[in-house]
Every structure is written in C-alpha cells, then in structure tokens.
Structure 1
Amino acid sequence: MLFVTIVLDGVGVGAQPDAHRYGDAGADTLGHVIATQSPHLPHLQALGLGNIRHIDGLPPATAPVASFGKMTEVSAGKDSTTGHWELAGLLLGDAFPTYPNGFPDDLIDAFIDRTEARGVLGNRPESGTVIVEELGERHMETGAPIVYTSADSVFQIAAHVDVIGLEALYEMCRITRDEVCTGPHGVGRVIARPFEGTPGSFRRISPKRKDFARLPDEPTLQDLLQEAGVRTVSIGKVADLFGGRGFTETRKTTSNKDGIEATIDGIRRAVQGGERTFIWVNLIDFDQEYGHRNDPQGFAKALESFDRALPRLTEALPRESRLVITADHGNDPTTPGTDHSREYVPLLYWGDPSPRPLGTRRSFRDHAATVLRFFDLHVPADSVPFEQRVLG
C-alpha cells in the first residue's frame, strides 16, 4: 500500500472568504499566473485542475482522470508550518507570533545572553539576500550574527561560515529554539542561514540551511502512521516543519527537479520493499524562488516543469496506490507584496476508483483523514475522507 502527497508550496487557487483579515482580498495565485503567463499544463488539466473552479486559460477536462476540489484552511495563519500541520490533522487556534517591527528588546537580550553572541545585526523583516548583502561585511568585521525575520513566524540567523562555523551556527539556533523562542515567543521555526563569499558576492549555502521547528503539541498524521507500522518518508522540507518527528526517512532536496526525482526514486523503493508507505513531498520553488520574488514568469515555468514530470510520477505508481496534489497556502507573484496569501488550496486525488468532484473541503484535515482511512486506521470524527462527498 502506497500513498503519496505532493505539496506545491504556495500554489493557492483563490482567496478564502476571510482573506481580507490577512490583507489578501483578491489574491489568486494560480488564476493570476495562468491569466498573465498562459502556461501549458496538459497533464494537470487532464487530472482536473481546470475543473476545480473557472480559470481563464485553463478549460475543464471533459472526463478528469482524478477527483478534484479545493480545501479551506481553518487554522489561524498562512505559513508553511500552519498549512502542513493542518494537513497532518492539527488545528492552530492562535497564529504563531510574527514580528513586523523586528524582535522586541527582551527577546534580543535573551538571545545574546543564552547564545553568548557578540550582539546582533539587522533585527527587522527582510529578504535574506538583501540583508546579507547589506550587513555581511559588518558581520565579518564584528562577529555579530545577522538576525532577521519575515512575514512568517521565523527567527532567522545568518552567519558567514568563516566567522561562525556551521556547527556553531546550528548550536546557536538550537539554543534559540529551546531557551529563547519559547512561551509567547514560540515562533514556528528558527532557521540557520549560512553563507559564504566576499563582500559584493556573498552566496547563501541553501543545502546547509537548517530549520528548528516548534514541535506539535498533539500526535500528527505521521505519528499515527508510524505507530501503526507504516513507513513514513519526508521529501523536501516537510520533516523540518515537524522538528523531524514522525518520519522514518528524511530526504533533503535542493529544487523542484531534485524533489521530483527523489519522489520517483522513493516510489520505486517503496514498491520494491513492499512495505506500507506514506511519502510526503514539498516542492518549494514555486514559493521560495518565484512567489516571494514576484516572478510570475518563473512561477509559470515551474508549473510547466512539474506538469511535464507528472506522467513519470503516475507511471511509477502501482495500482491501488493514491496520489494527492495540493498546496499549503498561496503566494501570488502578481501582487505588490511578497508575503504568502490566505487562499484555498487545490485538491487533485489520483487513484480514486471513481473520479468525481470533491467539493470545497471544510479543512485541510480531510487530507489526514483520507490517508488514515487508506491505511485502515481510525479517522477522527471532525474530518471527512475524500471518498465522502461534501457540499460546497
């Protein structure tokens, strides 16, 4: 038995009714990318992407190969941690703390005290590339780490590997996670951002980035699967969002292409091994490379690349297996801001014996319910597996 979930990070399908509360009224990541760039997506279209809702430039399939619908985020927030946690069956009543004006003095003082840092540089919301370029030389002169945040609930620490070595940076982040960012300052992630190079040509070392996530307070989908003897595999950043908890195997990736190849390899290994397996994939380029950088053309090309890879993915899947293609939030590259957006996420459910409309799901938790049902495990009463139709 094999179940694969692929999260197209940031590929929302239109603003939720509460989007205005997040400053996201009118956001429509997929709709706006298709309207402005006209990407060629024949395989996603065949699955039923154009059947989810009316999208100019993406006609509905006459006979979709997959069941289709969209899911509503109920948790407070619009970041990757919140979205993935809800996909894993958890709801956040209160959003993770964010710091649009930088971190308060008491938090910075605690950081310096606990980590013995030589002060801090930055302390504001900023693009990592921009702040490293601006403060990297001063960091090399003073030894003070660059601390910054974003619209997400993150405490990011950037350091040149020749000034603060990788292991020292990771330890600084671990201390920050365990001793500084706690209680009301319990951010979703503390992130190590190492870089190298010289002033004017600094380069982030993305493969050495390391996330220290806040741990869930309740059992997650993958925890329940592990307890039942199901092999759980994370591809991409998924495991980082849960502090690594609940995964039998973790495979880091550097790009969508790398993630797709790792997924195909993971499917083949699962088939060869014959174990019950759940593979959870995050393809990050849509969000990281194009959404945050307001690059609709690059976003469209990434969609086309994924579309071209789809036949290889589905051909690798054995009969009776399942594939979900969804997202964790929106990130509309056509809007002035560079933040995530509060949007519905797409739902394509391949392998369903009777492809059909799945409606508007009331929560991302229906994903967890579907995986649990597939492996014959208990389904919580507050969520509905995809096989059960909902109105909307």
Structure 2
Amino acid sequence: MSRTVILLLDSFGIGYAHDAAAYGDKGADTLGHISEWLAKNPRSEGGEVRPLQLPHLAERGLEAAAVLSRGEKLAAPLGAAHTIGAYTYAQEVSKGKDTLSGHWEISGVPVTFDWGYFPNVPHCFPQELVAALIEKGKLPGVLGECHASGTEIIKELGEEHIRSGKPIIYTSADSVLQIAAHEEAFGLERLYELCKIAYELVRPYNIARIIARPFVGTCAADFTRTTNRHDYAVPAPEATLLDKMVAAGGSVYAVGKIADIFAHRGITKHYAAGGLDKLVEATKQAVSEAPDNTIVFTNFVDFDSSYGHRRDIQGYGEALEYFDSRLPEITALLKPEDLLLLTADHGNDPSWTGTDHTREKIPVLFSGAGVECKELPPLATFADIGATIAKFMGIEKTFTGEPVKL
C-alpha cells in the first residue's frame, strides 16, 4: 500500500494572491524577491554575487510553478529544468493568512469564519483578560502587552522579566497570544501551565493559538529562543485529512509543529524537532519508520520564524538552499508507490514591510507514485491538495476540495 509524504516549507509563497490587496500585500512575493535580491547583492562583505540555486526543487517544478503563479520568470534560473512530477500553485480561500488557516485548508477544512485579533495599540489585551491571567497564574504581573517581534521584545524586556518574575505577553497580526519566559528563571513547565490557563481564558475572544516562547541566556546580548516552543491551538471544526486517515485505519506521523497545529488530533506518532537540520533528520526517521498506509507530515518552521518574520532575505535564501541540498536524503527513502508533496501554507516575504505573514499563492509540487511530468491547472483552494491526497490514499473525501488528476 502507498504512503504520502508532505514537506511543508512554512511561509514559502510564490507570488501575491488575487485578494492580496485586501491584506495590504499586493506585490508581495517571497520566492521572487529572494531570487531578485540574491541575483544583485553579494552574500557577504566583498563576496561574489551568487544567485539562488535550488536544483532539486526546480526539477520537481518549483521554478515552473513560480512562473505560472507570477506571470514572469524569476531573476535567475534556480539551476534545473522541470523533469520530475506535476506542478502548479494554489490560492487560499480561508480568511486570514495565518498558520492554522493554511494548514487546515490544505487538509480540507477552510476557515470560513473570522478569527479574533488583538488591536495594534499599547496594552492591546483586554484588561479583564490580563487580570484573570495574573490571578489564575499566580503572577506578580506581566510585561509587554503589545504587538511585537518575539526576538526584539525578549531583548527589550528579558532582563526585567528575570528580575521581576513577570512573563512577557505579546501578539502579532495573527490570531495569537504569545507568552515568553526564561526556561530556568521562570521554568519551562510553569510556562506551559500558564499557556494552558491562557488557552481557556481567550476562548471568548476566538483566538486561534497560544504560543509558549521559552528562551535562555544571561542578558539581552545573548538571549536566545529555544526549540521548546509549544503551540496550544484550537481544533479544526470539521474532520481533517489527518482525522480521516486515522479513522480509515491508517497512520499519521507528524514532524515538528504539525501535531500542535492540529491540536494533536488525527496524529498517530509525533516527532519533536526544531531547526532545519533536526527537522530533516526527524523527517528521515519518520519516513524510515512509517508503515504502509501512512501520511508523514513535516512543517519546516524555520523559514517563517527565523527568516521571514525577521526580514532576513539572505538567511531565507540560504536556508532554502540548505533544504534543497538535503532533499535527496529524504527522497532516497521513498518507495516507488509513495507520493511526495512539496508545498507551503502562506507567504512571509522577507523584503516586505512589517514582520507579518504575506497573502500569497503557494507551490504545489507532486512527484512519485507514477505522477506524470506535467503542469496542473491552478488550484482555486488549498483544499484541493487534501482532496487529491485523500483520493490517492483511498480514504473518505475531505470536507471540501476536489482532487486533481496526477
């Protein structure tokens, strides 16, 4: 029996979506702008200009999908012609441009309702919410209470947090409340418990996620967020592709933050990992261990968290090249009857204004399992991806979406 391996490059958009103007993102283009920047700028002081090179992704149709999505060529060829599998792009119909919406829609459950958001003003959280968090968490108070970059607010308030014992709470343009605390001074388990309290408290506000953001270090100069991040997400309102896979007697092996994104529902086995290198290794382990009739699903979060949000164009490009260089290690573990999908969940153009996600189309690159080498029609919803996988795996159709012929 067959397996499906989904490798999701978090935030890897390939051109602004048809409705991007409504989100302030018309013109955003994660891949296009990275390619353009690297084609013009030296990677280090006095170094040579070296265009973006992604030969293994390109041979699976990435460059062709980008041209289809953008309507024009990239600034420089990615290094290989399309020779393997079927390619296209997909548009999102969910409201918002956040992680949960993108993943849920891929799995056949678009977000048709409005998430709750906190306004971009000082003291952005309702004071009754903050007061309840302080009381139930037995806290001396909180710091932050604003929209912020996670790395910057830790530098700004981390030392005061250690001195006072007050955790740092902040948000972004996403439907999220994040809590940062020092792993040793505050305690990792205490941070997790506080996030569980916050998860219950934000229910009336329709917030999608609480995120624990632990960090270590002795001062602002060396504070570093750790890989012990944990997301507390609301469950999808309908059965997802993952739920249907498990209900049909199959398995879902989740790597990285996939289990958190789906509220640990429809998950058979979870491989905790953080950092591109460790996520590649965990994916290889999952594929090696996965029996027939299994979906292996990895989220490569670093593209989003380490480079997109930090507006690090060069870092994003070099991370893509690193992933591309290691992709053959994963594909070498696939069986002839396995299906491979390379995709994303939204954009996060590192050249864009602000530090938030960008509303973009995503690449859809299918290969393996006898997939023809061809261009697929553009997908009107991410849900068509889940429907295609459901049909391939021989399980019940997803809540919405139509399968494409591979």
Name the residue aligned to 1:11: 12
Call closer, same or farther: CA 1:109–1:379 in 2, change over 3 Å. same
Deviations 1:63-90 (A, max 9, x none): 5311000011100011111111111111
Q: Indicate yes or no: 2:77 matched with 1:58.
A: yes
Distance 1:246 1:59 in 2: 36
Q: State the percentage of identical aligned residues.
A: 40
- Tell whether the 8 Å contact from 1:72 to 1:364 is kept in structure 2 after alignment: yes
In 1, the alpha carbon distance for the partners of 2:216 and 2:400 equals 48
CA distance, structure 1, for counterparts of residue 144 and residue 167 of structure 2 = 9
**Which residue in the other structure is 2:134 paired with?**
112
Q: In the aligned structure 2, how far is the partner of 1:61 from the partner of 1:227?
A: 40
Matches within 5 A, 1:1-392: 1-37=2-38, 38-52=51-65, 53=67, 54-56=72-74, 57-58=76-77, 64-99=83-118, 100-101=120-121, 102-178=124-200, 180-183=201-204, 185-270=205-290, 274-351=291-368, 352-380=370-398, 382-387=400-405
Q: Deviations for 1:325-366, whole angstroms, at most 9, x for unmatched residues?
A: 000000111122221100000010012432221121011111
Per-residue deviation, residues 205-263 of structure 1 (Å, max 9, x unmatched): 42222111112222111111111111101111111111111111111212112111211
Q: Does structure 2 retain, via aligned residues, the 8 Å contact 1:193–1:204? A: no
Preserved contact between residue 71 and residue 363 of structure 1 (Cα < 8 Å): yes
SS of the residue aligned with 2:376?
Answer: strand
- Counterpart CA distance in 2 for 1:33 and 1:159 is 33
CA RMSD in angstroms, aligned pairs only: 1.8
Q: Per the alignment, in what secondary structure is the counterpart of residue 31 of structure 1?
A: helix
Answer whether contact 1:186 1:214 (CA < 8 A) is retained: no
Query: Structure 1 residues 381 and 242 mapped into 2: Cα distance closer, same or farther (>3 Å)?
Result: closer
| CA gap 1:267/1:49 in 2 versus in 1, 3 angstroms | same
Equivalent-residue separation in structure 2 for 1:60 and 1:347 (angstroms): 19
List runs of 5+ in structure 2 lacking aligned partners. Answer: 39-50
Q: Following the alignment from structure 2 to structure 1, what is the Cα–Cα distance between the partners of residues 215 and 279?
A: 23
Render the CA deviation track for 1:143-185: whole Å, top value 9, x for unaligned: 221111122211111122344222221111111112x1102x1
Residues 259 and 265 in structure 2, CA contact (< 8 A), matched pair in contact too? yes
Whole-Å Cα distance in 1 between the matches of residues 161 and 342 of structure 2?
A: 42
Aligned pairs, number: 383
1:32 shift after superposition = 1.0
Counterpart CA distance in 2 for 1:364 and 1:169 is 34
Contact 1:51 1:60 in 2 (8 A): no
Shift of residue 10, structure 1, vs aligned partner: 0.7
8 Å CA contact 1:49–1:60 kept in 2: the answer is no
Where does the alignment leave 5 or more consecutive residues of structure 1 unmatched? none
* 1:59 shift after superposition: 6.8
The letter for the 1-side match of 2:391 is R
The answer to whether the 8 Å contact 2:162/2:186 transfers is no
